[in-house]
Structure 1
Amino acid sequence: MMGSMLLPGLAGKRALVTGGSRGIGRATVRLLAGCGASVGVAYRSAEEEAAVAVREATEAGAAFRKRRDAAFGLRSTGAVEDGEAEPGEPATFFHHAADLSREEEVEELFDRVDEELGGLDLFVGNAGIWNVDDAPIRDLEMAEWRRMMAVNLDSIFLSTRGAVRRMGRGGRVVLLSSTAGQRGEPYHDHYAASKGAIISLTKSLARELGPEGITVNSVAPGWVDTDMSAPILEGADPEAMDRILGEIPLRRVATVEDVAGPIGFLLSDLGRQITGEIVNVNGGSVVCG
């Protein structure tokens, strides 16, 4: 189980995960909570799913404390309420709705972070969208281009800026990009451009923030079994699925846990000497471009 994975240096850390109510973000929230971190879940509209993510984080955090207490011969203090740590424990879990492409809503999110966590050590920029329908360049409307850039790029800029303003030495930033940002994605040019920009931003920020002891990396998934990809993966006939898997050397679609694991690694002490890197978690598909 992902929550039972222990990564050094995460216990007691304060984290924010955007797009944390579903998919990769939600799996990352569980992982961090299961390693002893306090976690804020930022989401846009999926309030019910965000509440579930907080409940899962609370349970994972309680399991972490039981394992830790057992290791040190301590006695557990009992059950916890949703979103609250056991008495005397620092772990906190909360969710907050925000349109991260709107500066004023991002500022409100970080006011909440300050209130709940008192600062930030770890940031995962995971919020983003992808269009199922093809959008060839000749037909791509400016409004759709701007929407993609607002959600996938403006939101990353605004939320990353807010995060690093609260970080000191030892801070960790992981931004989600994609194979599309490296090899392109025909008929999804706006998506590929937004993810390519995140890769460039990652490298630039790594150089800028490195002297302050803050690492900045990107994780680049390919096909992942999420709600976003479900219309394609669940609706694919055998021939179409063979084509998808044929572009993945490992011949399998990633799970959200497959992606959350490397994110957690980069946020932990195991990744403290890694910065400016694009970690491909796509079964090797990026080398087939």
Structure 2
Amino acid sequence: MMELGLKGKKALVTGGTRGVGRGIVLALAREGVDVITCHRQDGEMVDSLERELKEIGGQHAVLRADLTDPEQIAGLLGECRSRFGRLDLVVNNAAVISHIPYGELALEEWQRVIDTNLTAVHLVIQQALPMLGDGGSVVSVSSKSIEVGIPLRSHYTATKAALLGLNKSLAKEFGAKGIRFNVLSLGMIHTEGLDAMPAEQRDQMIERYSAMISLGRMGRPDEVAGVVLWLASDLSQYVTGAVVPVDGGIS
């Protein structure tokens, strides 16, 4: 296997106890990266991630933080500072979604989604910057859905589209300091959320989406993690301000 040179690097991954975030956390840990991640609610997913990280070994922490609360974001970044002293990689993965007809979209719900999916990303990056040096990499997770639009998800797609503008501006502003900013545009990824659906509904979804994907199947969290490993490594040191599609060729 190719040596990525990530051993001993320090990373923060938001929303890392399930789905894509979990895949990223575990892949980084297996490459020798020390990882801090956060979650909103305690539960078995948190406990099992802590067990897995302990088995892999390294300096890891799974912390509770509500990213709609700026004080808790400050606390999370304070933990990164006190535990690591620096960061080499920040992955903005935490996000919320809901499906609501636009005419019925309450301001409170609009603000909850904006706060989690966009404002939190801004605050995490801003407070991580003093810990990021030359070679630092910031990866934000967006969605292929912003290219086509999805009914009932106007608030969600608005936040995911906004990440592109934020990313490109920051790439230009901090390029001279050697800090890179990139976005992942995710297609359909098979996570435990899909497995939790009733079997018939799940199978219909898998069949429907697989027919739209060039590779004929949905992606896996570890395949998203592979792209993050690349963006964390020196192999991608000339890549910044980019939107990297991780979608199996969905159309």
| TM-score in terms of structure 1 length | 0.80
User: Kindly tell me: are residues 235 and 201 of structure 1, through their superposed partners in 2, closer, same or farther at Cα, counting changes over 3 Å?
Assistant: farther
Q: Which residue of 2 aligns with 1:76?
A: none
Q: How does 1:39-54 map to 2 (within 5 A)?
A: 39-54=35-50
**1:122, distance to aligned residue in structure 2 (A):** 0.9
Among 6, 9, 23, the alignment partner of 1:10 is: 6
Query: Does the 8 Å CA contact 2:68/2:112 hold for their aligned counterparts?
Result: no
Structure 2: give runs of 5+ residues left out of the alignment: none
Q: Which residue of 1 aligns with 2:30?
A: 34
**1:180, distance to aligned residue in structure 2 (A):** 1.6
CA distance in structure 2 between the aligned counterparts of 1:226 and 1:276, rounded to whole angstroms: 27
User: Deviations along 1:55-111, whole A, 9 cap, x unmatched?
Assistant: 3233334xxxxxxxxxxxxxxxxxxxxxxxxxxxxx411111111121111111111
**1:237, distance to aligned residue in structure 2 (A):** 6.7
Query: Does the 8 Å CA contact 1:181/1:199 hold for their aligned counterparts?
Result: no
CA distance in structure 1 between the aligned counterparts of 2:97 and 2:193, rounded to whole angstroms: 7
**1:43, distance to aligned residue in structure 2 (A):** 1.4
Q: Which residue of 1 aligns with 2:83?
A: 116
SS in 1 for 2:102: coil
User: Deviations along 1:187-226, whole A, 9 cap, x unmatched?
Assistant: 2111111100112111111111111000111111111112
User: Kindly tell me: are residues 58 and 190 of structure 1, through their superposed partners in 2, closer, same or farther at Cα, counting changes over 3 Å?
Assistant: same
User: Deviations along 1:25-45, whole A, 9 cap, x unmatched?
Assistant: 111111111111111111111
Deviates more, 1:249-258 or 1:206-215: 249-258
Structure 1: give runs of 5+ residues left out of the alignment: 62-90
1:160 partner letter: I
CA distance in structure 1 between the aligned counterparts of 2:40 and 2:3, rounded to whole angstroms: 29
Identity level (%) = 36
User: Kindly tell me: are residues 241 and 114 of structure 1, through their superposed partners in 2, closer, same or farther at Cα, counting changes over 3 Å?
Assistant: closer
Among 51, 54, 61, the alignment partner of 1:58 is: 54
Q: Which residue of 2 aligns with 1:163?
A: 128
State which structure, 1 or 2, has the greater radius of gyration over its C-alpha atoms. 1
1:113 partner letter: C
**1:48, distance to aligned residue in structure 2 (A):** 3.9
Q: Which residue of 1 aligns with 2:71?
A: 104
Query: Does the 8 Å CA contact 2:20/2:221 hold for their aligned counterparts?
Result: yes
Among 172, 184, 188, the alignment partner of 1:223 is: 188
Q: CA RMSD in A?
A: 2.0
The answer to whether residue 103 in structure 2 is matched with residue 138 in structure 1 is yes
User: Kindly tell me: are residues 241 and 56 of structure 1, through their superposed partners in 2, closer, same or farther at Cα, counting changes over 3 Å?
Assistant: closer
CA distance in structure 2 between the aligned counterparts of 1:240 and 1:55, rounded to whole angstroms: 32
2:168 partner letter: K
CA distance in structure 1 between the aligned counterparts of 2:19 and 2:62, rounded to whole angstroms: 15
Q: Which residue of 1 aligns with 2:231?
A: 266
2:83 partner letter: E
Query: Does the 8 Å CA contact 1:153/1:198 hold for their aligned counterparts?
Result: yes
1:274 partner letter: V
Higher relative contact order (CA 8 A, sep 6+): 2
User: Kindly tell me: are residues 12 and 225 of structure 1, through their superposed partners in 2, closer, same or farther at Cα, counting changes over 3 Å?
Assistant: same
How many residues get paired? 251
Q: Which residue of 2 aligns with 1:25?
A: 21
SS in 1 for 2:156: helix
**1:119, distance to aligned residue in structure 2 (A):** 1.6
Q: Which residue of 1 aligns with 2:207?
A: 242
Among 245, 254, 279, the alignment partner of 2:219 is: 254
User: Deviations along 1:215-271, whole A, 9 cap, x unmatched?
Assistant: 111111111112444466855276554332232222211111111111111111111
Query: Does the 8 Å CA contact 2:194/2:202 hold for their aligned counterparts?
Result: no
CA distance in structure 2 between the aligned counterparts of 1:261 and 1:239, rounded to whole angstroms: 28
| TM-score in terms of structure 2 length | 0.92
- Point out the structure with the larger strand share: 2
Query: Does the 8 Å CA contact 1:7/1:264 hold for their aligned counterparts?
Result: no
